[in-house]
Structure 1
Amino acid sequence: MATTLKNLSQYSSSNIPDISNKKFAIVVSEWNEDVTESLYRGAIETLMKHGAQKENIYRKDVPGSFELSLGAQWVAEIEDIDAVICLGCVIQGETRHFDFICDAVAHGITNVGLKYNKPVIFGVLTPENQKQALDRAGGKHGNKGDEAAITAIKMLGF
């Protein structure tokens, strides 16, 4: 469903497991920092709202979205990390660079989850412009960070 038809911060509260003892790693891209910091705040708020303990949430920063995959792999290797949330924003530019980065990041994050058999969540915005990014990072379309966090929580209850 297109985000213009759904608010990213609205989700079903059914099937939410107890996460009070679960450990989360959040890997955040420094590129487009105004957007990714808002995504991070959304993810933290959602995790804590549903019972995660602040001391069980670890943050690691990487330079850009391309580096999210390796950052996710490094934290996924830590045995007691239960889920990894990757947050980034790649804004369409004038070249095909956008396509290559988005494709690589999506495949990389997917592969880390499969390799370590734990939830590794794709919380990466791929908007056409800065306004669309802000609309999805706490603006009129909600916050992709909320969506990424609730996805991690629900996957832990699978």
Structure 2
Amino acid sequence: MNQILQDAPTDTLPADTSPTATISADSAPAEPSPPDDAPPAPSHPRFTKPQRVAFVQSAWHRDVVAECRHAFLDEIAARHIARDRVDIFEVPGSFEIPLHAQLLAKTRRYTAIVAAGLVVDGGIYRHEFVADTVIKALMDVQLRTEVPVFSAVLTPQQFHETQAHFDFFRKHFATKGIEVATACAETLLSLERLRSQVAAGII
């Protein structure tokens, strides 16, 4: 049975962590003070109601996908959704993400669900088929449940298990983590406004 994972830096994970094991949380290092001439941190609007997000990630190439999670958590915290308001779940591969997303959405515990995974060549399915199926299924979950679902499931055209490719995709997943956090927060704010207007009979 899948368990909620507590986020921790990748290098603190034991080498034999199983896909359903719980990851222990460590204390975050103190942030260095910005220099006096540093530009002010961007100001983001706050939510009217409490938000809770489920982050569902695949275990395939866990160390690469983890970069997305780390970047997501940093950015979503800057946008006023604290780390303890994000529950992290891990599944064997990207193909298993949609069913977990649907079950989580049906609990009504989460105001948003984020999916992250790396789909590459190999196995019994073509990677293009898997990625297309996952994206369509996640959209179906979103439309059926009205819980927004965001995807950072990536499908590189060419992926080789070399250090250069791993380094490139770690950086790429970090960028995608920021992008999906931005999309998540901005969509939740937009939905808050829209639902408020609908409730008030404005639209």
TM-score after normalising by structure 2: 0.63
Contact kept, 8 Å, 1:42 with 1:138, in 2: the verdict is no
Q: 1:71 corresponds to which residue? A: 100
In terms of fraction of residues, the more strand-rich structure is: 1
Give, in angstroms, the shift of residue 78 of structure 1.
Answer: 1.9
Q: 1:151 corresponds to which residue? A: 183
Query: Does residue 48 of structure 1 match 2:81?
Result: no
* Count, aligned residues: 144
Contact kept, 8 Å, 1:125 with 1:144, in 2: the verdict is no
Structure 1 residue corresponding to 2:134, chosen from 105, 108, 123: 105
Give, in angstroms, the shift of residue 50 of structure 1.
Answer: 1.2
Partner amino acid for 1:32? Answer: H
Instruction: Note the aligned Cα RMSD (angstroms).
Output: 2.4
**Which ranges of structure 1 fall in alignment gaps of 5 or more residues?**
1-12
Give, in angstroms, the shift of residue 21 of structure 1.
Answer: 2.1
- Quickly say closer, same or farther: Cα 1:133–1:154, change in 2 above 3 A: farther
Query: Does residue 121 of structure 1 match 2:150?
Result: yes
Give, in angstroms, the shift of residue 133 of structure 1.
Answer: 6.3
Give, in angstroms, the shift of residue 61 of structure 1.
Answer: 0.7
- Give the secondary-structure state (helix, strand or coil) at the position aligned to 2:171: strand
Give, in angstroms, the shift of residue 93 of structure 1.
Answer: 4.8
Partner amino acid for 1:153? Answer: A
Q: 1:18 corresponds to which residue? A: 46
Q: 2:59 corresponds to which residue? A: 30
- Quickly say closer, same or farther: Cα 1:82–1:133, change in 2 above 3 A: farther
How far apart, in 2, do the equivalents of 1:154 and 1:137 lie? Answer: 25
Which protein shows a greater Rg?
2
**Which ranges of structure 2 fall in alignment gaps of 5 or more residues?**
1-41, 191-203
- Quickly say closer, same or farther: Cα 1:17–1:70, change in 2 above 3 A: farther
Partner amino acid for 2:170? Answer: A
Give, in angstroms, the shift of residue 55 of structure 1.
Answer: 1.9
Query: Does residue 138 of structure 1 match 2:175?
Result: no
Partner amino acid for 1:138? Answer: K
Give, in angstroms, the shift of residue 113 of structure 1.
Answer: 0.7
Contact kept, 8 Å, 1:92 with 1:126, in 2: the verdict is no
Give, in angstroms, the shift of residue 142 of structure 1.
Answer: 5.2
Give, in angstroms, the shift of residue 137 of structure 1.
Answer: 3.4
How far apart, in 1, do the equivalents of 2:136 and 2:166 lie? Answer: 21
Q: Deviations over 1:102-157 (max 9, x none)?
A: 11111111111111112100111111215556434325x85211111111111112
Contact kept, 8 Å, 2:72 with 2:180, in 1: the verdict is yes
